Amino acid sequence: TRKNNSSSLSLEPTTHSSTSSSQATTNDLILLSPTTRKNNLSSLSITSVKNNSVFVSPITNSVDQTMIDISKCDLNCCSSSKAYHPLKEDELVSATINKRSCQKKWFTDYPWLTFCKTKRRVFCCACREAFEREIHPTKTKLFPHHVTFIVNGYCDWKNAISRFKLHEKTKLHLDSIYVVNQQMKPNIAIQLTSATKKQQEQRRQSLSIQISCIIYLLRQGLALRGHDDENSNLIQLLKLRSADNEYLNEWIKNKKYFSHDIVNEICKEIYLTIIRDIVKEISSRKWFSLICDETCDESTTEQLCITIRSVNSNYKIFEDVIGLYEISAQNAPTIVEAIYDVITRCGLDMINCRGQSYDGASNMSGIYGDLAVHDLTDQCASICNCMLCVKDIIDFIRRSPKRLVILKEIFNQISSSYTNLTALCPHRWTMRAESYGSLLKTYEQVQEALYTISKEKGGPGIKANGNLVFTDTEKLSRAFQSSDCYLQDVFCAAEAIIYRFRRIQDDINFELFYNQVVKDSEGLTEKPILPRLRRPPGRYESNTILVNHASCEDFYQKQYVETLEMIINMLQTRFTQKNFKMLCEVENFILNISNKPPDLSIHYIKTIIDFCYDDIDIERLKSEAVMISDFFKVVINTNQMKIKRITKISTVCEILNICEIGKQMFREFDKLIRLYLTIPVTTATSERAFSVLNRVKSTLRSTMTQSRLNHLLLAHIYKEKLDEIDPNQIMSTFISSNEQRQAFFGLML
């Protein structure tokens, strides 16, 4: 027998006594763990454990699992499958031999080392694990230094570094590391499942980016498609974002979810998210009113814009565009059918409809009240001619870069700054005066440019009475632009315009106006002359008497007076309707009881009953009306609002919003205010929707379907709601629509 030291393994002689194993005492078996003691007794072919050394039987010439189990202690340093590295130097002090101890830095340089706190020795974690689990491919005889790092442990600290380097380079160690790492890898099924989940996650990320790009294009009102799919805005935007996502380029090349139907479906989901939110808010406010207007789009299709007006508990007015409805005719039955169809689709009840407003409502007159203010320019021939003349001159200059250069050169010659000509849009009421003013201001230079462009002498004359009309009426038009304008404000603005026109109808104002126009036109155009009288042909001859005017001034004075009188009559007609009178009486009732205890006459009560139907308890409103003025005085004094007299509905709303308890105390009064504010005054919101329509459905995009038009229109109008949409929410709805997408993208968590 070869003598063994404390760090080596001694092999037994070739012959081994069969009684050796039976001589193992109870103390020998204590080294076995309790769970394996019984199983290991029958299979031991090794000698007893002596002095922490295990003797390998020459019969096997290998290390088996039993030997490794014996060499392991029950502490966490050996029970864990990971290598144990001491955290403190105190754990290594106990392993000192001949004034040499294990060093902590060795575990950093050789991470495969593991320290046993019981034996106070180091082992090779990889080799130990490979032979314990019987996954090492080596079947040959092992050398003693191999068994040292697997079973007995190493503690010769003097030669430790050289032995570590030697063991690290052995094939047995390298094979152990390889097989252990292979065993730690998941099996094929798990790897395939993991790869599938990773692909699904990448697809979901790409689809989410695609949806966010679509949301951006819808918000900005840009086209999704282009001349071809490759040059479309959507594809190019995704290519721009591919710098942030590696898989996005592969997603774009695949083109699996870029078809027109898929993109339209995503746009539809975005539209439905917006419209459902709008309808939910309208339903929560109970009462609503309808605002309808018609226009012709780029493809000559008649579009009916349906807008719903409602008021929330804080008296904030909302005018929400529901969409455009393609109508085949402009008669009342067709419009009514379209309105009922839209209201039914939105899940709203017509019983809660409290008002209706129609622009161009001659088709609806006799059925529903007309509360709209119309464009009056088509009622006066002189104004129409003036508009056409001005529009032709401005367009003639603006639409040619060459003509603009000529005009700019003329400004440079006179050392004057160039002033742009403002385009005249016949349908934009608030831009007409500005357009007229820009032409009148630069008319001398424009005329010189026209002389240069054409050899024809003279230029188109401007009838200056158009500027007078549009400058004043523009203020009225601007007053109607806001959705929260009150009827009182509208009446005030209209009365001011009517008073202004009546005041300038007299001879003195006309003479001042005419002389100023003639003076300003000197050198710019020819002097005014009387037009030649023309007798109509005999087949059209009637009893009409031809009027001979004494002078040009008399001729233009007649047109001047007739034009102003026509405008005054039209304004009075629009603002003296039956429903307007009733709304004015309701408004007066609200303001009167807000300032002092009311005189509840039968007339006021009848008006409230006609206006509110069964929405308000009249008897309870009477009792509330007695206290409202006192309550308002207390709130005004408490909050130091500096209000002497309440003259506007907006002031009443402000006071009730400051002291919310007032809405609970005066519930019927609160209902009355909300009902009053629900009634629409103008159709300006529909006009703004038509401006969006012109941007969305342009000449290059005139072939889109009606459903796609509504999807794009509402997304562009409600930008705030679009910004709140989560692309993952749209993606979840899109994926869950069928099983094929669920398998391709995976389930959303």
Residue reference for tokens 């709008």: 278
Residue reference for tokens 């282009």: 226
Q: Is the pLDDT of residue 374 over 70?
A: no
Mean pLDDT of 327-334: 86
How confident is the model at residue 450, as a pLDDT?
A: 75
Q: Is the pLDDT of residue 69 over 70?
A: no
Query: Does residue 250 contact residue 201 with C-beta atoms inside 8 Å?
Result: no
Q: Helix, strand or coil for residue 59?
A: coil
Q: How far apart are CA 79 and CA 69, in angstroms?
A: 10
Q: Helix, strand or coil for residue 318?
A: strand
Mean pLDDT of 510-533: 78
Lowest model confidence (mean pLDDT) among 506-520, 568-582, 723-737: 568-582
How confident is the model at residue 243, as a pLDDT?
A: 87
Query: Does residue 333 contact residue 368 with C-beta atoms inside 8 Å?
Result: no
Q: Is the pLDDT of residue 687 over 60?
A: yes
Query: Does residue 48 contact residue 24 with C-beta atoms inside 8 Å?
Result: yes
Mean pLDDT of 721-730: 93
Would you place residue 18 in the very low, low, confident or very high pLDDT band (cuts 50, 70, 90)? very low
How confident is the model at residue 19, as a pLDDT?
A: 36
pLDDT digits (tens, 9 = 90+) for 693-719: 999 998 888 889 999 999 999 999 999
pTM over 0.95: no
Residues with Cβ within 8 Å of 634's Cβ and at least 6 positions away in sequence, in order, are none
How confident is the model at residue 457, as a pLDDT?
A: 40
Would you place residue 373 in the very low, low, confident or very high pLDDT band (cuts 50, 70, 90)? very low
- Rounded to 5 degrees, what are φ and ψ at 84? -100, 120
Domains in the chain: boundaries: 89-184, 188-258, 374-528+550-575, 578-678
Closest CA to 628 of 675, 662, 581: 662
How confident is the model at residue 673, as a pLDDT?
A: 92
Give me the percent of the chain exceeding a pLDDT of 70.
76
pLDDT digits (tens, 9 = 90+) for 481-506: 565 666 667 777 778 888 888 888 88
How confident is the model at residue 674, as a pLDDT?
A: 92
Average pLDDT in the chain: 77
How confident is the model at residue 546, as a pLDDT?
A: 60
End-to-end CA distance of the chain: 68
How confident is the model at residue 484, as a pLDDT?
A: 60
Q: How far apart are CA 387 and CA 198, in angstroms?
A: 66
Which pairing describes strands 288-296 and 353-358: parallel, antiparallel, or unpaired? parallel
pLDDT digits (tens, 9 = 90+) for 335-354: 889 999 999 999 999 889 98
Give me the percent of the chain exceeding a pLDDT of 90.
25
- Which amino acid makes up residue 564? L
Maximum mean pLDDT: which of 67-81, 456-470, 491-505, 522-536: 491-505
pLDDT digits (tens, 9 = 90+) for 144-191: 667 888 888 888 888 889 988 888 888 888 888 888 888 777 767 766
Evaluated on CA atoms 725, 726, 728, 729, the torsion sign reads negative
Q: Is the pLDDT of residue 538 over 80?
A: no
Lowest model confidence (mean pLDDT) among 23-32, 287-296, 405-414, 665-674: 23-32
How confident is the model at residue 732, as a pLDDT?
A: 93
Higher-pLDDT residue of 12 and 660 is 660
Residues with Cβ within 8 Å of 436's Cβ and at least 6 positions away in sequence, in order, are 390, 424, 466, 467, 470, 471
Q: Is the pLDDT of residue 599 over 50?
A: yes
How confident is the model at residue 477, as a pLDDT?
A: 62
pLDDT digits (tens, 9 = 90+) for 613-634: 788 888 898 889 889 999 999 9
How confident is the model at residue 142, as a pLDDT?
A: 66
Q: Is the pLDDT of residue 198 over 70?
A: yes
How confident is the model at residue 280, as a pLDDT?
A: 94
Mean pLDDT of 21-47: 35
Closest CA to 131 of 188, 63, 78, 71: 63
On the 0-12 / 13-18 / 19+ scale of CB atoms within 10 A, 440 is middle
Q: Is the pLDDT of residue 535 over 80?
A: no
Q: How far is it between the farthest Cα atoms of the chain?
A: 154
Task: Tell me, rounded to whole angstroms, the distance of Cα 560 from its chain centroid.
Answer: 52
pLDDT digits (tens, 9 = 90+) for 256-277: 899 999 999 999 999 999 999 9
Cα angle value 11/149/25 (rounded, 5°) = 50
Lowest model confidence (mean pLDDT) among 232-246, 413-427, 673-687: 413-427
Q: Is the pLDDT of residue 17 over 50?
A: no
Q: Is the pLDDT of residue 34 over 50?
A: no
